[in-house]
C-alpha cells in the first residue's frame, strides 16, 4: 500500500499498538503526542490519513479537526477520530467538526484497518 498515516495520540500503549498493526499492513506511520503544535506537524507530514485522539495535552482533537477543516490545503484529509469518550454528544461534536470516521476505545485491530481501508482505498 505504502500510504502514510499520522497518529496524534498521547497514550504510549495505543501509539505502539496502532503503529504495529498499521506497519504490518504496509502503512508508513508517523506519530505525535500533543495537541499544541499538531497542525504544524500535520502540515509538515502531509499524511494520506490522520488518526486523531480527542483528549490531548495542549489542545483538543475537536479544535484541531475544526482548524484542519478550515485549511484550504488540508481540509479534505480523511480523519479517524479515536476516543475513550463514546457518548452521543462526543460523536455529535466530532461530526459537527467534520470527522470522517469516529471510533471509541477500546477498538479491535480489524476495526481500525477496515476504517482506514475505507477512508483511503488502494489505487
Q: Model confidence over 34-49: pLDDT tens digits?
A: 999 999 999 999 999 9
| H-helix or E-strand spanning residue 113 | helix 109-119
Q: What was the pLDDT predicted at 1?
A: 45
Full-model pTM? 0.94
Q: Domain 4-118 is classified in which CATH homologous superfamily?
A: Response regulator (3.40.50.2300)
Mean pLDDT of 16-29: 95
Rg, the chain, Cα only: 13
Tell me how far apart the alpha carbons of residues 123 and 73 are, in angstroms, rounded to a whole number: 21
- C-alpha angle 43/1/11, rounded to 5°? 55
Q: What was the pLDDT predicted at 123?
A: 65
3-class secondary-structure state, position 23: helix
Amino acid at each position: 500500500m505504502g500510504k502514510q498515516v499520522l497518529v496524534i495520540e498521547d497514550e504510549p500503549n495505543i501509539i505502539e499498538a496502532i503503529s504495529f498493526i498499521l506497519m504490518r499492513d504496509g502503512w508508513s506511520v508517523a506519530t505525535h503526542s500533543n495537541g499544541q503544535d499538531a497542525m504544524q506537524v500535520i502540515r509538515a507530514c502531509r499524511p494520506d490519513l490522520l488518526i486523531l485522539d480527542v483528549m490531548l495535552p495542549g489542545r483538543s482533537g475537536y479544535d484541531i479537526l475544526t482548524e484542519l477543516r478550515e485549511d484550504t490545503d488540508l481540509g479534505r484529509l480523511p480523519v479517524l477520530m479515536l476516543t475513550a469518550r463514546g457518548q452521543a454528544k462526543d460523536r455529535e461534536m466530532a461530526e459537527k467538526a467534520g470527522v470522517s470516521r469516529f471510533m471509541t476505545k477500546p477498538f479491535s485491530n480489524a476495526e481500525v484497518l477496515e476504517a482506514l481501508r475505507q477512508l483511503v482505498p488502494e489505487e
